[in-house]
Amino acid sequence: MNAIGALWLRQIKRYLRSRSRLIGSLGQPLLFLLALGFGFGPIFKKAGGGNYIQFLTPGIVAMGVLFTAIFSGIEVIWDRQFGFLKETLVAPVSRIYIMLGRTLGGATVAVIQGILVLTIATLAGFKWNSVIGIFPALCFMFLIAVLFTALGTGIASVLEDMQGFQIIMNFLVMPIFFFSGSLFPLSGLPHFLGVLAALNPLTYGIEGLRISLLGGSSLRMAIDALTLLVFSTALLFIGSRLFEKIQI
């Protein structure tokens, strides 16, 4: 357990020390929020969708969490190339604990990123349904973060170069993001796209965030949370197995 705590703190300290990473990771979510939120807002309103900033913000918060979480896996490759991973793996600690520590650290960093995006969105005009909604929203952010940090770590465990990781991640991340209901409603989609959205774990995270922040069915929110928990547990298990097989 001490190993998990130490690696968790290391991930957070690494993030807080890197101001360029902090600012850079906010760039894309803010671009989507401001450009799409205010650019397509009038069109969305004329189409009867209401305030687009209200609809878009939960998706952009999830985007900030998703990108930060999944790309935290690249640190596994970085640490492998510079020898730190070898020093960690030869320690008398189970590799599962090491993987859990890295995952929790990356997930915490991703949640911090989501909170920053939500704060900026609030300043840009997003209105919460209730302040109490921040608590379930944080839970959904954390589940999204754990799921995709575990996914990024698992994929990084079987790769040896950063270029390959970035190619695979971009191939996965953009479809996951766009087919999750983050930018547009999922109702009325063609059947095959609806199936893709239903199989996409981020879909349930974003729906849960919307219900938390904007109000909605508590039963539906519970179903979203349970579904996301199942996905997160499965990815943690798979990621742990892949991490255990790293060759040093």
Token pair of 41 as six digits: 């807002």
Please state the rounded mean pLDDT for residues 62-74. Answer: 85
Distance CA 232, CA 150 (A): 8
pLDDT at residue 2, as a whole number: 62
Give the residue from 58, 78, 56, 54 showing the smallest Cα distance to 66. 58
Residue 62 has pLDDT above 90, yes or no: yes
Which of 18-32, 50-64, 93-107, 204-218 is the least confident region? 18-32
Q: pLDDT digits over 181-221, tens only?
A: 888 888 877 888 888 888 999 999 999 999 999 988 888 99
Query: Environment class of residue 168 by beta-carbon count within 10 Å: exposed (0-12), middle (13-18) or buried (19+)?
Result: middle
Distance CA 15, CA 109 (A): 7
Distance CA 24, CA 124 (A): 19
Portion of the chain with pLDDT greater than 70, in percent? 83
Please state the rounded mean pLDDT for residues 134-158. Answer: 89
**Structural domains counted in the chain:** 1
Please state the rounded mean pLDDT for residues 154-172. Answer: 77
DSSP 97-117: HHHHHHHHHHHHHHHHHHHHH
Give, rounded to a whole angstrom, the gap between the first and last alpha carbons of the chain. 23
Range of the domain at 11: 2-244
